[in-house]
Amino acid sequence: MHRALAASLGLGLGLMASVAIAETKNPGTFVFLWSDDIESFDPAYIADTPSSYGVLNVYSRLLNFKGSEISEFVPSLSTEVPTLDNGLIVENEDGSVSYTFPIRQDVHFHKVGIKGADGAISWKFYDELSEDERSSIQPGYGELTAEDVRYSLLRAMLMGKSWMANAITEMVTASKYPTIADWAQDVGGVDDIAKASPESLREVYDALASQIVVEGDRVTLTIPSSFPATLGIMALPFGASIVDQEWTSSVGGWDGSGDTWMTYYRPELSADPLFDQENGTGPFSLEEWDKTERRITLKRFEGFWDKPASLERVVIRSVPEWTTRRLQLLSGDADFVAAPVEFLDELAKTEGVKVVDGLPKVFPRGLFYFWPLDAVDNPAIGSGQLDGRGIPPDFFADIDVRKGFNYSQDYQVLLEQVLLGKTVQAHGPMVRGIMGYRKDSPVYSWDPEKATEHFKKAFNGKLWDVGFELTAYVRDGETQGVAALTVLQQGLQRVNPKFRLKIQSLPSSQLSALRNNREMPAAPLMYMGWGPDYSDPGGPLGAASYYLSPTGLVGGFSGQGYRDLMAEKFKPLLDEAWALNDPAEREPIYAKLQEMSFDYASTQFLWEDFAYIVVRDNIDGYVHNMITYGAWDFYPITKADN
């Protein structure tokens, strides 16, 4: 009796489990589980990758990246991609360059304005309109016009909130002004934009507006001199996504006037009317954002200017616990889950689950050197002297110290045992796919003899005799970073037992405090990674500028010594490359810069970061574009019924 009961129970459990796995749950709905959050749906506000997932899908841009390509584009709201050949890029006699975008006609936003009998405009979902109502749409209210494009770009720049949108300002001013605040302060002769007079603010607006001109259904953007990354910036979701002027104004956003823009400058998130509502032309509209449940629901836009998406709905949920996400994937309640790398091989063998692995990212990981360091009350440098119990504040100013560190790292061990052979060693700031990357450029390897040679030269031999002790930092939860520092720690010990590296994990905010917004950094060595936002290595958001410019992102926090080195050795070449139009002329310069980053051991470049996705096996259509960091464009995604 007992045996029969047990057998029945076992059979029942087995059947239920198999039923749970076999059936397709939520057909037509793509359930996307991650541990991130979207900050805002305003394209002029956002600057981080998770937030781009929302904007990318509810808004459209003038151009899109061509599939996985990072330097090729396809038309979107612009019916053509500007080129010199088709005459839409014109090099003017004064050195300025004009880009003309012919704007697509008969494109509707998700909500359109209907004029009532009393003359008042009410906004309704385009998909829910009757034929009669469609004929009552007020022209321009929810219908894409060239003016909307002009308004969107101006709004992104004038809002000044997102450093990604600020890249448009830098582009339009050909790098003269990184932000609208710099421009206004310069024109107004003040040190704070808040002190700028209404006249100078108007002057800035007029100058800016004169560079974006509407002629019929065409928008022409003129920039003072060549800016090679222009089309790349126009294809990014940040800032370059097109909003409807009339709707934005009707919900409390900027009215488009040159006299009022300062009122909308750098708003608080809660004061931004486009924070949690949208009216884009993208393939999905925002149906619901339940902030309590951390759930965003996107609904297919049937009135999309191209063929409607295959998915009816996309549900994006934040589920912090990995085990819960995993069980939901296995049971079919989730179609995609963000998964830790160490589970990939196991998931790949799981029935019903598909793993797409080894996707490239334009993102080198490295150990960053800082000098000179803050000597006051800084436990990371111990005694602050070269006495074996600490390091002097200018420790990494010595090139032999940096080279000694670079030769003390075992890159192969990291690639094979930590990254499981899924990626390659980083050669410098420019990774595969970025101009200047060459497969045969020199890289460091574990070489205790060379490490010894350089360490013996450092500080006239004193370092070798007395040794050192310093603390390296890594962000909480960065297991690969801890592994990289641990392997380095062991390497240094093997080179010289007097070399002691301590490793400390800290939350992101505390790392920022050790690195940013201070006269001198406090951290001598830190595990990090930064990636560019377009394929060109130059310009404000390019890979070479980020790492090798004295005013770049890395230069900004790595200490004055690092900045001086960059200013003296790297900046002349960076400027030279950026001034050239011909990619064939520019490429060797960036390749040279890449080699110089090796010669000067400016950073310990470890590996190229990589991406992967874990989905149910009935999911297809994912397009990985490494310049958008693998952000999910849900438009091509399909979910088959089993």
Partner 1 sequence: MMTYALRRLLMLPVVLFALSLMIFALQMSLSPTQRLAAYAPSDDYLKGGQESIRLMIEEYGLNDPFLEQYGRWIGNILQGNLGWSETARQPVAAALASLFPATMELVVLAFFPGLLLAIWLGSRAGIHHNRWPDHLIRLFTILGWSFPTYVFGLLMLLVFYSTLDWFPPGRLSQWAVTEVTSVGFTRYTGANTIDALLNGNLAVFWDAMRHLIAPVITLTYVNIASITRVMRTSMLETLRQDYVRTARAKGMPRRVVELHHARRNALLPVATIAGMELAYMMGGLVITETIFDYAGLGQFAAKSASSLDFPAVLGFGLYFAVVLVVLNLLVDLIYPLLDPRVKTR
Report CA 394 to chain centroid distance, whole Å.
Answer: 32
Do the Cβ atoms of 174 and 227 come closer than 8 Å?
A: yes
Which residues are bridge partners to 390 per DSSP?
Answer: 382
Position 266, amino acid: R
Q: Which of 417, 516, 581, 638 binds partner 1 (CB under 8 A)?
A: 516
CA distance 319 to 209: 44
248 to 267: interface string for partner 1, x by CB under 8 A: ------------------x-
DSSP per residue, 174-198: TTS-SSHHHHHHHHHT-SSGGG--H
**DSSP label at residue 104:** P
Pairing relationship of beta strands 313-318 and 97-102 according to DSSP bridges: unpaired
**Judged by CB under 8 A, does residue 2 bind partner 1?**
no
Asked if 420 interacts with partner 1 (CB under 8 A), we say no
Q: Which of 48, 186, 255, 387 binds partner 1 (CB under 8 A)?
A: 48
CB atoms within 10 A of CB 480: 19
39 touches partner 1 (CB under 8 A): yes
Q: Any contact of residue 518 with partner 1 (CB under 8 A)?
A: yes
Taking the least distance from each CB to partner 1, the nearer of 88 and 187 is 187
CB of residue 46 to partner 1, shortest distance in Å:
9
Of 130, 135, 210, 270, which one interacts with partner 1 (CB under 8 A)?
270
Of 124-183, binders to partner 1 (CB under 8 A) are 163, 166, 178-179, 181
Q: Where are the alpha helices (DSSP H) in 173-296?
A: 180-188, 198-209, 230-234, 245-250
- Residue 135 makes CB contacts below 8 A (sequence gap 6+) with none
Which residues are paired to 111 by β-bridges?
Answer: 125
| Phi and psi torsions of 355, nearest 5° | -115, 125
Interatomic CA distance for residues 486 and 560, integer angstroms: 28
Considering only residues 308 to 367 of the shown chain, the ones binding partner 1 according to CB under 8 A are 315, 319-321, 323-324, 327-328, 330-331, 333
User: Rounded CA gap, 319 and 338, in Å?
Assistant: 9
Nearer to partner 1 by C-beta: 292 or 460? 292
29 scored as a contact of partner 1 (CB under 8 A): yes
Residues 461-480 that bind partner 1 (CB under 8 A): none
Nearest residue (CB) to partner 1, 338 versus 415: 338
Q: Alpha-carbon Rg of the chain, whole angstroms?
A: 27
Nearer to partner 1, 274 or 451 (CB): 274
Q: How far is the CB of 189 from partner 1 (least distance, A)?
A: 18
CB of 253 to partner 1, least distance (A): 18
In the bound complex, what is the minimum distance in angstroms from residue 47's beta carbon to partner 1?
5
20 touches partner 1 by CB under 8 A: yes
Please identify, using beta-carbon distances, which residue of 328 and 535 lies nearer to partner 1: 328
Structure tokens at 539: 């310009």
Does residue 460 bind partner 1 (CB under 8 A)?
Answer: no
- Please provide the DSSP assignment of 348-399 as one string: HTSTTEEEEEEEEEEEEEEEEE--SPP-TT-GGGBTSSSSSSB--TTGGGSH
CB of 499 to partner 1, least distance (A): 29
Place of tokens 């002097």: 392
DSSP 36-55: -----S-TTT--SHHHHHHH
Whether 490 contacts 459, CB under 8 Å? no
Question: Among residues 22, 269, 420, 640, which is the contact residue for partner 1, using CB under 8 A?
Answer: 269
DSSP string covering 469-529: EEEEEEETT-HHHHHHHHHHHHHHHHH-TTEEEEEEEE-HHHHHHHHSSSSS-S-SEEEEE
Contact positions with partner 1 (CB under 8 A) in 387-406: none
Does residue 37 touch partner 1 according to CB under 8 A?
yes
User: Which residue shows structure tokens 């497969």?
Assistant: 439
3-state SS, residue 429: coil
Q: Is 377 in the site for partner 1 (CB under 8 A)?
A: no
Stretch binding partner 1 (CB under 8 A), from 359-367, 377-385, 399-407, 514-522 = 514-522
Q: Compute how many residues bind partner 1; rule: CB under 8 A.
A: 61
Binder of partner 1 out of 11, 16, 74, 251 (CB under 8 A):
16
In whole angstroms, the minimum distance from the beta carbon of 95 to partner 1 comes to 28
Smallest gap, in angstroms, from Cβ of residue 335 to partner 1? 11
Q: Is residue 25 a contact residue for partner 1 (CB under 8 A)? A: yes
Nearest distance, CB of residue 498 and partner 1, angstroms: 34
Q: Would you say 407 or 546 has its CB closer to partner 1?
A: 546
Strand-pair category, 111-115 with 97-102: unpaired
First to last CA, the chain: 38
Q: Which stretch binds partner 1 (CB under 8 A): 15-23, 214-222, 422-430, 584-592?
A: 15-23
Using CB under 8 A as the binding rule, whether residue 68 contacts partner 1 is answered as: no
CB 531, min distance to partner 1, A = 11
The site for partner 1 (CB under 8 A) is made up of 13, 16-17, 19-20, 25-26, 29, 31, 37, 39, 47-50, 163, 166, 178-179, 181, 266, 268-270, 275-276, 287-288, 290-295, 297, 315, 319-321, 323-324, 327-328, 330-331, 333, 507-510, 512-513, 516-518, 530, 541, 551, 553, 556-557
